[in-house]
Amino acid sequence: MARTESNMMPLGTVAPKFNLPDTVSGKELSFDAIKSDKGTVVMFICNHCPYVIHVQEEIVRMAKEYGEQGLSFVAISANDVVNYPEDAPDKMTEHARKYNFDFPYLYDESQEIAKAYQAACTPDFFVFDGQDKCVYRGRMDASTPGNGQVVTGEELRMALDDLVKNLPIDREQHPSIGCGIKWKA
């Protein structure tokens, strides 16, 4: 399991637009259709990454909790499915159902959206305010597989709490660490 850090998109960057297939509903979904006036969380994840599996339940909890407060969530997988068939769209559908995703799980086959977001690893989190500007990017918390720290989502939760309260997110932000996105050759 290769450790890769996120690239940390510059704060203030406007969310790159997308139109990708949702492996849960079967519909094409755009950023504009998914986003919320309060804020939007874009997560790059995949099915097989041990770092994602480690935080999977907290992702689902946070999406439900903050979704009820008006934030929207979307997950995107951009992995090369030729070399990583466990991340293929049909497997994404199964994964989303197994873990009760109540947010879209989009497939970025071209990998252009992952590149536009400067995503580097899974999981990689990006938070955009109501004006679609990046206000947080990086990790959920300091917990990783095997480091003994409990998954709390603390860092991402503090950012989302500030966003919901319309407060500036002015705390230090740390890169996420996970498996590198499986880029096509």
For the segment 35-44, the average pLDDT, to the nearest whole number, is 97
- For 120, left (φ over 0), alpha (ψ -120 to 50), or beta? alpha
Whether the Cβ atoms of residue 84 and residue 182 lie closer than 8 Å to each other:
yes
Query: Residue 126: exposed, middle, or buried by beta-carbon count in 10 A (0-12, 13-18, 19+)?
Result: buried
Domain 4-180 top-level CATH class: alpha beta
DSSP class of residue 1 equals -
Tell me, what's the pLDDT at 2? Answer: 67
d(CA 170, CA 167): 9
Residues with Cβ < 8 Å from 82, sequence gap 6 or more? 184
Would you list the domain boundaries of the chain?
A: 4-180
Q: pTM here?
A: 0.95
Q: What is the pLDDT of residues 55-113, one digit of tens each?
A: 999 999 999 999 999 999 999 999 999 999 999 999 999 999 999 999 999 999 999 99
Per-residue pLDDT tens digits for 126-182: 999 999 999 999 999 999 888 888 999 999 999 999 999 999 898 889 999 999 999
DSSP state of 72: E
- 31 falls in which pLDDT band (50, 70, 90)? very high
